[in-house]
Structure 1
Amino acid sequence: MAELLRVNNLKTYFDRYDGVVKAVDGVSYKVDYGETLAIVGESGSGKTQSVLSLLRLIKGNGRIVDGEAIFEGKDLLKLSKEELRQIRGKDISIVFQDPMTSLNPIMRIGIQIMEPILWHKIMSDKEARERAIELLRVVGIPEYKTRVWDYPFQFSGGMRQRVMIAIALACNPKLVIADEPTTALDVTVRAQILNLLSDMKEEFKTSVIFITHDVTLAMNFADTIMVMYAGKIAEYAPIDKFIRNPLHPYSNGLISSTLDINAKEGTLKPIPGNPPSLVNPPSGCRFHPRCPYAQDICKEVEPEYREVEDGHYVACHLVKGGKFNA
């Protein structure tokens, strides 16, 4: 497949009173046209900041200190503010994590869907209204013709998330970033949202970056998976290779700590310890304080992020020849 986005050595740091937080520290990956990339990791691993950096939406104390984000031949990190505004919402859109706070509570739903269409001057006012109504139908809002003029408080959490997806799709973007879109939703609604995203990807031929802490969700939804830990990539692989052969101890820890309803009692194994401080991260491999297989080299030397088999990358001293050798 042709390449839509390539990120090279992205570094995003945040200045705080207690030091510099290296939230994203040398991240590289790509997204092809029509591909779904899942970015997985615990809270604080750098998942969200790695994608917000692409559109320069990081907070005021943040700064991008290095890297490239080549989107259709243009480096997003070097564009002017006006050039970037022409891409945000039109070519790249975001479904934010919390629909409760992402929607404007005093604007009707239809107006919020129309807003990016009109701002980018893609359609006339009448056409944008028709587009808003159609998108609510597409995302499965009941009585969409009348509900398009309701306010956010009149929708449930799951319906609000559907509205967020409708807004993200309003301008037929080439890339949709979904930042933990199923957070705080019950299991049934979560499945509906994931099915909706899959349907939208097929219908609109859109690439997706799907951010989640749930590795099993990623394995069921994505084409490619990228596991992040403490601001760095631990593992990156096509989903079929990852399912057959997860190599990094952190990846296996995430899988083991996920509840499987078909598993026997006592098989849930949480990862011991806590993620490290990104102000003063551990030397060597950042996962070594929590890794049951850590050796002296893991504590002293940072592992090289390298390709161990076709398309499968890992940063671990103990992986050799496509196998984990503890």
Structure 2
Amino acid sequence: MSKMGIGKIPNSVLKRIVLSQLGVSDPDVLVGPGIGEDAAIIRHCGGGLAFKSDPITGSVEEVGTLAVYVNANDIASRGAVPRWFLGCILLPQGSGESDLDRICKQIDSAAKELGIAVVGGHTEVTDGTTRPIVVGSMIGVTKNNRFITTGGASPGDAVYMTKAAGIEGTVILSSEPKIERSLGESFVKRCKSMLPKVSVVSECMLLADQEGVTSMHDVTEGGILGCAWEIAEASSSGILIDLSCVRVLEETRSLCAELDLDPFRLMGSGTVMFTVKAGSEALVEKSLSEAGIPYSRIGMIREAREGRQFRDMEGGIFSIPPPGSDELWRARTKG
């Protein structure tokens, strides 16, 4: 077996090794693990519970906040309300009580912001890591026994995104010493001030109430293009994304230019990609506009035979490959 790169396990390996070894079959599992599917849905007492686990491995400064935000995002992208958080905090040797206190304060603050209770977890100092890692788990409750999947898109659906590309990656990479040296302290402060934008709970709750929304997916590793591929894969469909319609903040553009990164493949928590059936676009757009949530219409779901493609800034059409290592890890590897 070949060695794997840094970041999420390739989808081909997930299918072959991980998704083929899932224990017993349980009729109460309404949605289980799958490519691009953000959280499990379990039948419970006539309703549904959503479950998710996700680690924060790329950030040091905001690891506690991001652990809550990112796990809540995956629950919310199911159309479920995030309620209960558990955090496994792993600290490197040499950490002090102040390091643990900082992370716990971040978790507490983010949980209170989103109305979430911290109900358990684990803490330890280990020689198995060189920086703090928080492995978060979130449990949520479906609204009105309805939930949304990544794989619900159909040919003819319009593809949308909220906010802008690469928000999480911009926040994390702005801590790199090279960025402050090259772009200045005020630039770094602007990037760090984007941290609250990483949460997509509010827009997901709004979208979950829209009858015309057919799928939702939280943009994480692999960025906009990785997310688009996963929606198409989960939906057994094709997709066309127009990159000229994808909003990229000036801070993200500048940071990516400095580090020679692709903003469309940069870690993108803070954006939810969703699809809307034909005829419902105006109502969904109106709801987002009234709520003050920025959005862009960026593409179309197509028949599977038409492929998974993007149109670049010059109008060229290219295939979207399966997600590889995120641009954040490439930046870290380059040093």
Give the TM-score, by structure 2 length: 0.30
Greater C-alpha Rg:
1
TM-score normalised according to structure 1 size = 0.31
